Amino acid sequence: MTMKKGELLELAKSMKLDVSDKNTVAEINEAIKNAKEQAEAKDEAVIASREAKVAKAGKRSEKALKEAEEKAEKEARKEAGDTSAQGDAVATKEKGPAPKTRSLLERRSKKYQAAYAKIDKNKVYSLDEATKLVIDTNPSKFDASVEVHARLGVDPRQADQNIRATVSLPHGTGKKITVAVFAPKAEHDKATKAGADIVADEEFLQQLDKGVLNFDILITTPAYMPKLGKYARTLGPRGLMPNPKSGTVAADVAKAVSEAKAGKVEYRVDKQAIVHLSIGKVSFGTEKLSENARAFLSSLNSQKPSSLKGVYIKSVAIATTMGPGIKVENSL
């Protein structure tokens, strides 16, 4: 169908061609034809460029196209009410077996496991049986410390139930204790004869200022105790701050030194209401360990708060530093 000149001008105008009423019908037709050819050529270039990009991307683009097709197919089935899996369109991954979780005992060394096997966990041993067994179940090659752990029925947050005391172990702890004395010069000779390792007056404070803490026990007199107040944050957390309850603030310095050297140790309940105390070494043997343990348990029983209505000592266990725990009867 041949178009009139007016219709051709409207078409050319819609195509944004530079023609007017002054052009002939043939010129307008030629302009429209050229414009259509250019548009088709441009479309072909765009398609060719897209195909080149796909070819360059390779398998990734093929995979993306495949996934898009599968997604479209799945949505089409969903709209049609078909929720069943179609062939290989839906792939399911098979889960492997869950990794086996090892128990705490299985994560221990073979020596520890062998020691643990010697203990009847359902039995509460007598003290003599326990001290003999604790020696047999020591997994360490070195002369390990033997510790007693007592779980109490107290509330450490209550002042009258915050257990803190001292006990003189008949055979000591087996550890070399360095005792320091901060006292007037008049006490120095007595302290030295009693076995004190460090004896000093004001010069001792100069060492504390430098952060030198080369001692295990610090003993002072009531008159000198206030001078240590500024060092409470240094000494307190390390358990080195003198205290009347532990016998480290004493008028008789020589006696305090002798007791410390003879095996007098301090114990106190922790936040979990447990008291821990080293009672010697494996090399002590059953008899000495039993005697030290009895001395500690006797002292601990004597510290029962009058306000406590329930059970005081709930359980007692004995163990070497690296060994398994052994339940012990709380009977002396």
The better pLDDT of the pair 23, 278 is held by 278
- Give helix 127-136 / helix 285-301 axis angle, nearest 10°: 130
More confident site: 82 or 249: 249
DSSP state of 283: G
What value does the mean pLDDT take over residues 20-35? 75
* pLDDT over 50 (residue 149): yes
Distances in Å between the Cα of 125 and the Cα atoms of 111, 121, 328 are 22, 10, 5
Q: Which of these ranges, 31-35, 114-118, 120-124, 201-205, has the smallest mean pLDDT?
A: 31-35
pLDDT confidence of residue 65:
65
> Contact, 112 vs 137, CB < 8 A?
no
pLDDT tens, residue by residue, 156-174: 999 889 998 989 899 988 8
Question: pLDDT at position 89, please?
Answer: 45
Q: Which residues contact 152 (CB under 8 A, 6 or more apart)?
A: 163, 269, 273, 274, 275, 312, 313, 314
Q: How far apart are CA 153 and CA 296, in angstroms?
A: 17
CA angle centred on 249, ends 244 and 254, rounded to 5°: 130
Q: How many CB atoms lie within 10 A of CB 86?
A: 11
Confidence category of residue 93, pLDDT binned at 50, 70, 90: low
**Rounded mean pLDDT of 72-92?**
59
Structure-model confidence comparison of residues 139 and 23, the more confident one: 139
pLDDT at 109: 78
User: What distance in Å separates the CA atoms of residue 70 and residue 56, rounded to the nearest whole number?
Assistant: 23
Min mean pLDDT across 145-149, 184-188, 260-264, 298-302 is at: 260-264
In CATH terms, is domain 120-175+265-332 a member of 3.30.190.20? yes
- What are the C-alpha distances in Å from 48 to residues 37, 42, 146? 17, 10, 85
pLDDT of res. 176: 86
Burial class (CB in 10 A: 0-12, 13-18, 19+), 43: exposed
Tokens matching residue 43? 């479309």
Task: Judge whether residue 225 has pLDDT over 90.
Answer: yes
Terminal-to-terminal C-alpha distance of the chain: 124
Mean pLDDT, the chain, rounded, equals: 83
Q: Which of 84-88, 155-159, 268-272 has the lowest mean pLDDT?
A: 84-88
Angle between helices 25-57 and 59-79 (to 10 degrees): 100
Handedness of CA 28, 33, 36, 38 (dihedral sign): negative
Task: Say what the pLDDT of residue 295 is.
Answer: 93
Note the pLDDT tens digit of each residue in 28-56.
777 777 777 777 766 666 666 666 655 55
* 91 compared with 39, residue with greater pLDDT: 39
- Distance separating alpha carbons of residues 70 and 223, to the nearest angstrom: 90
- pLDDT score, position 90: 46
pLDDT class for 80, splitting at 50, 70, 90? low
What 8-state DSSP symbol labels residue 5? H
Rounded mean pLDDT, 230-245 = 89
| DSSP label of 101 | P
CA distances for 257 relative to 168, 197, 212, 219, 243, angstroms: 12, 10, 20, 7, 14
The yes-or-no verdict on residue 178 having pLDDT over 50 is: yes
d(CA 274, CA 316): 10
Predicted confidence at residue 44, as pLDDT, reads 66
In percent, the amount of the chain with pLDDT more than 70 equals: 84
Rounded distance, CA 19 to CA 25, Å?
10
Alpha-carbon distance values, 233 to 143, 225, 230, 238, 266 (Å) = 34, 15, 8, 9, 19
Protein fold of 178-262: Rossmann fold (3.40.50)
Question: Would you state the pLDDT for residue 92?
Answer: 52
pLDDT of residue 280: 93
